[in-house]
Amino acid sequence: MDAMQYEITLPADYDMGIIRQRVATKGHLLDTFPGLGLKAYLVRERADGSPVNQYAPFYLWATPAGMNSFLWGPGFQGIVNDFGRPVVQHWTGLSYEEGPAATAAPGTATRHRIPLGGAVPPGEAVADAVAGHARAARRDGVVASALAVDPRHWELLAFTLWANTEAPADEGERFSVLHLSAPGRQDLGAGRLW
């Protein structure tokens, strides 16, 4: 599993209805995309208390071929054409878990970045994080959750989809989910990914 996200930060007075319309008309195009585990179409809005207006889709790829097909094909080129070429953040998957609300449609997503300090060996730190992730994914309201790592910056990323619109306040950055494409969700595996 590979995790990927790009963030398109928009002007403070941007009409976020444009993004909502874009997702409403184009979101279904990835509902059957080969190699895609899931794509959460995410937004943050100043009107809801966010510091920025932002469109920030988050992907979990079941195969590298799927990710490459998207990045080098017409799907991502549409983003480039409309918004310019964003930085694409990428993390190596460590763990994926379905939560107790796995059959519910997600309303909210959270993203939490955790630095991996140098005091603990990386293998130990990751093993502890994976064990904690498995416990956290069993909380009420969790649809699905992924844990990934960026070994360039030694940073863990916890990404969780929530069935309700009120994710716990201490879960990190909060996004609204406009649509979920999940053609290969069952291919993401379960638990530790190595």
According to the model, what pLDDT value does residue 32 have? Answer: 97
Rounded to the nearest 10 degrees, what angle do helices 74-83 and 64-71 cross at?
40
Residue range 128-154: mean pLDDT, rounded = 96
Flag whether pLDDT at 170 surpasses 90. Answer: no
- Residue 157 main-chain phi, psi, to 5 deg: -130, 120
Torsion angle in degrees (nearest 10) through CA of 140, 135, 97, 153: 120
Structure tokens at 1: 């599993």
According to the model, what pLDDT value does residue 5 have? Answer: 98
Structure tokens at 108: 């909210």
According to the model, what pLDDT value does residue 41 have? Answer: 98
143-168 confidence digits (pLDDT tens): 999 999 999 999 999 999 999 777 78
Amino acid identity, position 113: R
- Return the residue matching tokens 């994926």: 96
Distance from C-alpha of 4 to C-alpha of 92, rounded to nearest angstrom: 9
According to the model, what pLDDT value does residue 6 have? Answer: 98
Amino acid identity, position 28: H
Tell me the DSSP string of 10-31: E-TT--THHHHHHHHHHGGGGT
According to the model, what pLDDT value does residue 194 have? Answer: 84
- Return the residue matching tokens 């416990």: 135
- Alpha-carbon dihedral sign for residues 69, 75, 81, 85: negative
- Residue 23 main-chain phi, psi, to 5 deg: -65, -40
According to the model, what pLDDT value does residue 105 have? Answer: 96
Residue range 126-154: mean pLDDT, rounded = 96
According to the model, what pLDDT value does residue 38 have? Answer: 98
64-121 confidence digits (pLDDT tens): 999 999 999 999 999 999 999 999 999 999 999 999 999 999 999 999 999 998 888 9
According to the model, what pLDDT value does residue 180 have? Answer: 98
Q: Please answer whether residues 18 and 82 qualify as being in contact, where contact means their C-beta atoms are separated by less than 8 angstroms.
A: no
According to the model, what pLDDT value does residue 167 have? Answer: 79
42-60 confidence digits (pLDDT tens): 999 999 889 999 999 999 9
172-188 confidence digits (pLDDT tens): 999 999 999 999 999 99
Distance from C-alpha of 26 to C-alpha of 12, rounded to nearest angstrom: 24
Flag whether pLDDT at 169 surpasses 80. Answer: no
According to the model, what pLDDT value does residue 88 have? Answer: 98
**pTM, rounded to two decimals:** 0.95
